[in-house]
Structure 1
């Protein structure tokens, strides 16, 4: 926690995927004020996706974190969109982001929960 899952129709090679994952990890931990040792990122690039009936580059992100607050969401949405625009050339108007807050007892790690 936090967990960022990125799905995009932009094709990336392995190095680009890892760079994007690392950048998202750093961004999430910085924006949420959590140590990066707890951040996990999943990148699924080159997916068959369309947005508004078009296959122009688009993305869907899921952002989950223990204790995510409503106040944290707008700046996090802006930062995530900006990163994808800079790195993957995706128009922010073609990015959906779903945010979810988790209770510590609903998040498992190392055979236990937080």
Structure 2
């Protein structure tokens, strides 16, 4: 059930292609089937980081079973993906990780 939400002040030209690449990248970074990955994009948002509106991103990643031992590796993979796709300096990307309990996340009329 990985869910990736990218908030950025950058304009993304082709949403469908960008989302598809982020979906695959998220699946690969987490080692999970892409069939469970959901990606959302909020682009062209008014945002400031460190007092500047230079390109930036705030990324939310929720994934069942995400271990704190894995977040550094996943952070590198997701940051690199965003950097290459949107030309945002890696130092201007924040990622918030969340690992919900399986019984607190619904899908297909039930929970995981």
Please confirm whether the aligned pair reaches a TM-score higher than 0.5, indicating the same fold.
Answer: yes
Consecutive unaligned residues in structure 1, runs of 5 or more: none
1:9 alignment counterpart: 9
User: Which one of the candidate residues 9, 25, 34 is aligned to 2:32?
Assistant: 34
1:68 alignment counterpart: 66
1:48 alignment counterpart: 46
Distance in 1 separating the partners of 2:88 and 2:56: 6
Give how far 1:23 is off.
1.5
Give how far 1:20 is off.
2.0
Give how far 1:69 is off.
0.6
What is the root-mean-square deviation of aligned Cα atoms in Å? Answer: 1.0
Distance in 2 separating the partners of 1:53 and 1:2: 31
Q: Is the CA contact 2:29–2:78 (under 8 Å) kept in the aligned structure 1?
A: no
Distance in 2 separating the partners of 1:76 and 1:88: 18
TM-score (norm 1): 0.93
TM-score (norm 2): 0.95
Moved more, 20-29 or 86-95: 20-29
